[in-house]
Amino acid sequence: MDPTKTARTVPEMLADADPARPALAGESGPTMTYGELLQLAERTRASLRRAGIGRGEPVAMVLRNGPHMAAAFVAVSTAAAAAPLHPGLRKRELLDALRSLGARALVVGEGCGSDPEAAAQALGIQVLRLLETDPCGGFLLDGNGSVPIPPAGQPRPTDAALLLHTSGTTSRPKLVPLSHDNLTASAASVAKTLRLDPSDRCLNIMPLFHIHGLVGVLLASLRAGACVLATTGFAPMRFFRWLEQLRPTWYSAVPTMHQTVVQRAERNPTELASSRLRLVRSSSAALAPSVLDALEDRFGCPVVESYGMTEASHQMASNPLPPKLRKPGTVGPQAGPEMAVMGDSGELLADGAIGEIVIRGANVMAGYVDNPQANAEAFRKGWFRTGDQGYRDTDGYYTITGRLKELINRGGEKISPREIDETLLEHPDVAQVVAFAAPHAKLGEEVAAAIVPKAGRTLTALMLRQFASRRLANYKVPRIFVFVDAIPKGPTGKLKRIGLASDLGLC
């Protein structure tokens, strides 16, 4: 990366790279160059204009992970605001997401089932089918089109490029708009932290509907003029083969994936010996120091833990690469936005004092879409409140000690407990329900629900799981049900979601 260049939009970032260098590849080998990716972005912009879609307008996307998803995200974000959705969403979750986005179109890929298209059609949203034209990300958009609009110039740095829902303390997810400015600033921070350069090849195993994969892997690599090996997703059986065949120089993942990699490393000595990894990155949930040590031991390269968040366009803090100090158990010093620890009255706290971690800077979103109440709560004295609790040590390294927000972090996937409450309350035999985070050895946290059945009704975990599965994407479905006569309350009589797992004897 040339630090003197200050690309402020995604297409400017692509144009900074050598057009002949590889930008994207799938699992099968052939690559798409930066020049080809820029041309694809231009063609996509023209297709979207023909479909009546202009700069910053929301375009939902449901695609399988892989090079086409990566290319489509980059191309759509240069022309409109790309809104990649979890392909596992059930139809009513899709309806909610499309409504909340105010989507102008849905880009849908092969093998994503009929629900996305049906949901878009039910809302009168035009569907653009993505037709794959080669194995390294090339595609055409096919749609009936609406009213064409005249061609427009390049996007502006303040235009929304990415829209993502974030699980919050409310049942309805909040919508985070990230501008080109936000995304390119964060991509540059990750590229700088990891010292990425055009010779790097990142094995992407992260989903490309989450900020970690989109910015921590894809845009960070493109910022550095490097190549992304866009796989279909984490597959424990194939991971080691990819290491040998695709020759990546780094990968980024959530701690649960790293744990699986460590467990399987012993069974793949040849692939391990051929590894060219120069670093491994972890983010999105806490990495146990024992897993970090084991990874460093197996791969013989540094493992850096980073701290990220959707509203910050991903990276906020990161442990640095050697020769600087890595401190396992910490998320490192600030590495992107300015960071501080805030006390209850909004004062900034001294090193060592525990409070709420707050951030401000170029990669922090301006505010949630159409949500004045959430914005009033989220910003304080110009700082964005992360809802995470922690402290900074005298070297400037942050440790996360807990969470102030009601969120379940299931191995990096974030779930709003209120959404689970509302869904299970629709069951005719449920009187009360409180979803909460239960500790889990591998995932960190698992979705649990305390249930008070209606008088005289019998409920089982299986019945409730089946009920929830029909309405919620798989990762949100509670795995643990605790049947109680009354939900335990905190000392003030208020429902106490945080700490419920211990009150119910689950830890």
Alpha-carbon distance of 259 to 272, in angstroms, equals 15
CA distance 44 to 374: 34
Among 182, 310, 313, 330, binds ligand AMP (CB under 6 A): 310
Q: Candidates 46-54, 102-110, 129-137, 278-286: pick the segment binding ligand AMP (CB under 6 A).
A: 278-286
Angle between helices 67-77 and 34-50 (to 10 degrees): 60
Residues 57-116 that bind ligand AMP (CB under 6 A): none
Pairing of strands 227-230, 201-204: parallel
User: 112-151 mask for ligand AMP (x: CB under 6 A)?
Assistant: ----------------------------------------
- Cβ closer to ligand AMP: 221 or 284? 284
Provide, rounded to whole angstroms, the least separation between the CB of residue 439 and ligand AMP. 14
Is residue 286 near ligand AMP by the rule CB under 6 A?
yes
Tokens of 10: 């995604």
Least distance (Å) between residue 309 CB and ligand AMP? 4
Residue numbers 366-425 binding ligand AMP by CB under 6 A = 386, 388, 400, 403, 409, 414
Whether 219 and 178 have beta carbons less than 8 Å apart is answered as: no
Q: Which of these ranges, 82-90, 114-122, 307-315, 452-460, lies near ligand AMP under the rule CB under 6 A?
A: 307-315
Distances (CA, A) of 179 to 37, 160, 368, 416: 20, 4, 12, 25
Helices (H), 362-488: 372-378, 417-425, 461-471
Least distance CB 209 / ligand AMP (angstroms): 11
The 3-state DSSP class for residue 433 equals strand
Asked whether position 189 contacts ligand AMP by CB under 6 A, the answer is no
Whole-angstrom distance, CA of residue 73 vs CA of residue 506: 41
Beta carbon nearer to ligand AMP, 49 or 212: 212
| 331 near ligand AMP (CB under 6 A) | yes
Burial class (CB in 10 A: 0-12, 13-18, 19+), 196: buried
Whether residue 34 contacts residue 18, with contact meaning beta carbons closer than 8 Å, is answered with yes
The three-state secondary structure class of 381 is coil
* 307 versus 383: smaller Cβ distance to ligand AMP: 307
Measured in residues, the chain has a length of: 507
| Residue 211 binds ligand AMP (CB under 6 A) | yes
Provide the minimum distance between the beta carbon of 135 and ligand AMP in the complex, in angstroms, as a whole number. Answer: 30
User: Does residue 194 belong to the site contacting ligand AMP (CB under 6 A)?
Assistant: no
Pairing mode, strands 105-108 and 126-132? parallel
Which sign does the torsion angle of CA 154, 158, 159, 163 carry?
Answer: positive
Nearest residue to ligand AMP, scored by beta-carbon proximity: 310
Prior bond to 150 cis, omega within 30? Answer: no
Of 13 and 400, CB closest to ligand AMP: 400
Rounded CA separation 205/288 (Å): 20
How far apart CA 66 and CA 135 sit, in angstroms, is: 9
Shortest reach from residue 225's CB to ligand AMP, in Å: 25
- Contact status: 341 vs ligand AMP (CB under 6 A): no
Give 402's contacts (C-beta < 8 A, 6+ positions apart). Answer: 388, 389, 390
Least Å distance between CB 96 and ligand AMP? 18
Stretch that binds ligand AMP, among 130-138, 220-228, 281-289, 497-505 (CB under 6 A): 281-289
**Among 181-189, 220-228, 304-312, 485-493, which window interacts with ligand AMP (CB under 6 A)?**
304-312
- β-pair type (279-282, 413-415): unpaired
User: In the complex, what is the shortest distance from the CB of residue 314 to ligand AMP, in angstroms, rounded to a whole number?
Assistant: 7
For residues 420 and 435, the answer to whether their CB atoms sit within 8 Å is yes
259 binds ligand AMP (CB under 6 A): no
Count CB neighbours of 161 within 10 A: 31
Which CB sits closer to ligand AMP, 358 or 449?
A: 358
Query: Interface with ligand AMP by CB under 6 A: which range of 93-101, 193-201, 229-237, 308-316?
Result: 308-316
Q: How far is the CB of 166 from ligand AMP (least distance, A)?
A: 5
Rule CB under 6 A: choose which of 33, 44, 47, 166 binds ligand AMP.
Answer: 166
- Secondary structure (H, E, C), 317-348: EECCCCCCCCCCCCCECECCCEEEEECCCCCE
3-state secondary structure of 114: coil
> Any contact of residue 356 with ligand AMP (CB under 6 A)?
no
Question: Which is closer to ligand AMP, CB of 31 or CB of 284?
Answer: 284
Interface with ligand AMP (CB under 6 A), residue from 77, 100, 231, 284: 284
| Bridge partners, 229 (sequence order) | 25, 203
Residue 33 or 319: the one with the smaller Cβ distance to ligand AMP is 319
Closer residue to ligand AMP, CB minimum distance, 220 or 246:
220
- Give the residues lining the site for ligand AMP (CB under 6 A): 166, 211, 283-286, 305, 307-310, 331, 386, 388, 400, 403, 409, 414
